[in-house]
Every structure is written in structure tokens, then in C-alpha cells.
Amino acid sequence: MGCLTSGVFWGVLIIIIGILILIRVIFGINIPIFSLIIGLLLIYLGIRIISGATCCRRPKTIIFEERNIEGTPAENKYDVVFGKSLIDLSGIELKSGVTKVDINIVFGSATIKVNPSQPIKIRASSVFGSARLPDGNMTAFGDYTYKTDALKQTDTKDYLLIKMDVVFGNAEVVTK
């Protein structure tokens, strides 16, 4: 359950608003309710982020932490924001057709492991970041497409497509 949808959060917020209104009416003390509520909300969100209980987190999202992720065919999107991750895609079994995986790195760092014997195409886009690919090429600003030898040598329509976007971060694709 997300922090903004939990009953405890909204219950406490409504109680605080009620207490502030009663203080204003009964004692005549003018308290800026809106500013106080915004301040309390920001403090609450900050404590949740620091404690690791971030809001609305998906299982394959890294925010303000360091974690290793084992890639699965069911998951097709991985995000690293202000964190560090090792994303192991070497065990993914290909479906018929194109298996797509999106990886977004924003102000973070990620190492992506792939199996060089699989047919894989990687489209790396970088803006003020670094995306290093297994063939030694790197892009800091722009796009680069990498294909494994297994994809180059066969004319298959079944392959893994990794779309990797790096913004103010660092990504490195390594072969396992």
C-alpha cells in the first residue's frame, strides 16, 4: 500500500487539520494551516525515504539504495534513481518474437549482465551520462546500438531488445 493511499496517513492528516481548526476557533490563535500541512507532509515523505519505505515502489525499482536484481521474463522495466544496481539479464529465456526490456538510470549507476551467446540488441541513449557497451564503445551524449555476435550471425526474429536510457548517470553492459 502506498504512503499516500494508506489509511493511517490520511487519518493522521485529518486529525491534525481538525485540531488546528479547533485551536484557531476556540483560542483565537491564527495558525497557517495550509503551510503547516505542507511542511508536515514533506517531513513525513523525507522520513519515509530515509528509512527506505519509499512511496509507490515497484519491485524492480531502485531509489536511494544499492541492490542486485535478477532479471525475469515477466519484468520488462528496471529503474535506478539515485542508487546503484547490478541487473543480471543473462538468465532471461527468450520468447518468440522480440523480448523487450527497458532500463532507465537517472543520477545513478548500473551494471547490466548479459549472455553473449544470446541474440541481443542494445539501444543505449545517454544524456550527460555514460553508457559503456561490451564492444568497448561508449556514449556520453547521444545514441548507440550494439548487437551481439549471436544476433549478427543469424537472421532470427527472436531476440532480446534492451532499451537503455542514462541521464546524469553511469551504465555498463558486461558479458557473463
**Could you report the per-residue pLDDT of 102-145, keeping only the tens digit for each?**
999 988 999 999 988 889 999 999 988 899 999 989 988 889 99
pLDDT tops 70 at residue 11: yes
Burial bucket for residue 70 (CB in 10 Å: 0-12, 13-18, 19+): middle
Band the pLDDT of 65: cuts 50, 70, 90.
confident
What does the H/E/C string look like for 11-71? Answer: HHHHHHHHHHHHHHHHHCCCCCHHHHHHHHHHHHHHHHHHCCCCCCCCCCEEECCEEEEEC
Q: What is the pLDDT of residues 143-174, one digit of tens each?
A: 999 998 888 888 778 888 999 999 989 999 99
- Supply the DSSP symbol for 171: E
Whole-prediction pTM value?
A: 0.66
pLDDT at residue 58, rounded to an integer? 57
What b/e string do you get for 110-135 counting C-beta neighbours within 10 Å, with b at 16 or more?
Answer: bbbbbbeebbbbbebbbeebbbbbbe
Q: Which residue has the higher pLDDT, 157 or 78?
A: 78
What is the residue whose three cell numbers read 539504495?
A: 65
- Amino acid symbol at 40: L
In percent, the amount of the chain with pLDDT more than 70 equals 86
Question: pLDDT band at residue 90, thresholds of 50, 70 and 90?
Answer: confident
The predicted structure's pLDDT at residue 21: 81
CA-nearest of 167, 160, 176, 148 to 88 is 176
What is residue 52's predicted lDDT score, i.e. its pLDDT? 58
Residue with cell 543473462: 90
- Does pLDDT of 29 surpass 90? no
Cα–Cα distance, 136 to 138 (Å, whole number): 7
pLDDT computed for residue 70 by the predictor:
86
Distance (Å, whole) CA 156 – CA 171: 27
Q: Which amino acid is at 133?
A: L
pLDDT of residue 50: 65
Q: What are the Cα distances from residue 127, in Å, to 2, 18, 118?
A: 31, 47, 28
Indicate if the pLDDT at residue 1 is higher than 50.
no
- On average, the pLDDT of the chain sits at 82
